[in-house]
């Protein structure tokens, strides 16, 4: 079931001194996000990620195209009570405390004061701000502001939460906390749509991703499928192999290394890997593991965006 539907979304801005030069931030973007998944929205700076999220939040209006959340048009105000949102650079009234901010936000959603107290305590604990609950926000670091921003996005128990660069300004412990929060949301059936430049976190968390570049959708799909396409080689681990079998194995492999009583083998492609496994099974050797060696998401991202930029340069754009 789709909870976010974007169809041919285009956004043009007027730039320059006289506001006469058009800049296309989004170019006919179409994608779907499914219920209960963690969806990563990736792209270099200026790709159109924040513009897309702001249109979904009804903070910007598209030049053309349309978008729906939970089956409703994005300008349908009651629908926004069912979602949560963390902007890229959150800012809150400096003289509120975290507890006051979350209480105020909960009241905006119509929550009763009796239920808010426990909710606020739980959220402050989950983002690691319990000890700072009575400290004014003007004394917060960027990472602490980011944490309270995540908490306010969850105050209404949203069905889907949009997080624009949730790891921004966080130290490694803070990133671990956010990763834990995101996985716990998925466990509850909440859909998470987030953009990030921290690609190892995206690779660890996401079910599917979309890569945006210069306003256009470049790739979209299950993370496993996208990275499997780029498998570079295979690693095979064997145990207790000696003599003539070892000599034959050397002929079938591109690299042979030893790890105590085990052999670590590398073969360059699937055909050679299958030939090696046929020999292993025929000789009744002890097979420990077979693992594809694939590029990381960071390597795949750099390759995908680099291809697009190289093509643009070749065509003089």
Question: How far is residue 233's CA from residue 228's CA, in Å, rounded to a whole number?
Answer: 11
157 contacts: CB under 8 Å, gap ≥ 6: none
Average pLDDT along the chain: 88
| Six token digits for residue 277 | 């496994």
Q: In this predicted model, what pLDDT tens digit does every residue of 154-172 receive, in sequence order?
A: 999 999 999 999 988 888 8
Cα–Cα nearest to 189, from 71, 73, 75, 82: 82
Question: How far is residue 94's CA from residue 101's CA, in Å, rounded to a whole number?
Answer: 10
The Cβ-side half-sphere exposure at 140, using a 13 Å CA radius, reads 29
Q: In this predicted model, what pLDDT tens digit does every residue of 50-76 receive, in sequence order?
A: 999 999 999 999 999 999 999 999 999
| Six token digits for residue 125 | 């604990």
pTM, full prediction: 0.79
Please state which CATH class domain 231-293 belongs to: alpha beta
What fold is seen in the domain 2-223? Answer: Rossmann fold (3.40.50)
Residue 275's CB is within 10 A of a number of other CB atoms, namely 14
Per-residue pLDDT band at 193 (split at 50, 70, 90) = very high
Q: In this predicted model, what pLDDT tens digit does every residue of 145-155 receive, in sequence order?
A: 999 999 999 99
Ranges of CATH 3.40.50.300 domains, the chain: 2-223
Ranges of CATH 3.30.70.980 domains, the chain: 231-293
């Amino acid at each position: 079931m789709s909870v976010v539907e974007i169809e041919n979304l285009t956004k043009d801005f007027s730039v320059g001194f006289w506001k006469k030069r058009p800049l296309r931030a989004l170019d006919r973007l179409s994608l779907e996000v499914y219920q209960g998944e963690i969806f990563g929205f990736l792209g270099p700076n200026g790709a159109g990620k924040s513009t897309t999220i702001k249109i979904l939040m009804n903070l910007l209006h598209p030049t053309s195209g349309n978008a729906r959340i939970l089956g409703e048009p994005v300008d349908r105000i009651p629908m926004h009570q069912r979602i949560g949102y963390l902007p890229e650079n959150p800012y809150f009234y400096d003289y509120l405390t975290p507890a006051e901010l979350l209480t105020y936000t909960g009241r905006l959603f119509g929550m009763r004061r009796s239920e808010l107290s426990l909710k606020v305590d739980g959220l402050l604990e989950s983002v690691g701000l319990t000890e700072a609950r009575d400290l004014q926000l003007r004394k917060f670091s960027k990472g602490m502001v980011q944490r309270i921003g995540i908490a306010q996005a969850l105050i209404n128990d949203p069905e889907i939460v949009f997080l624009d660069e949730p790891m921004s300004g966080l130290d490694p412990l803070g990133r671990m906390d956010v990763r834990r929060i995101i996985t716990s949301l998925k466990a509850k059936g909440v859909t998470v749509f987030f953009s990030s430049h921290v690609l190892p976190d995206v690779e660890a968390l996401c079910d599917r991703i979309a890569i945006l570049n210069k306003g256009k959708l470049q790739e979209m799909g299950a993370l496993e499928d996208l990275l499997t396409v780029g498998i570079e080689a295979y690693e095979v681990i064997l145990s207790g192999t000696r003599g003539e079998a070892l000599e034959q194995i050397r002929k079938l492999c591109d690299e042979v290394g030893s790890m105590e009583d085990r052999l670590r083998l590398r073969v360059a492609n699937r055909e050679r890997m299958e030939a090696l496994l046929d020999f292993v099974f025929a000789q009744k050797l002890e097979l420990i593991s077979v693992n594809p060696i694939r590029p990381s998401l960071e390597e795949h991202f750099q390759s995908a965006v680099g291809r697009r930029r190289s093509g643009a340069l070749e065509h003089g754009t």
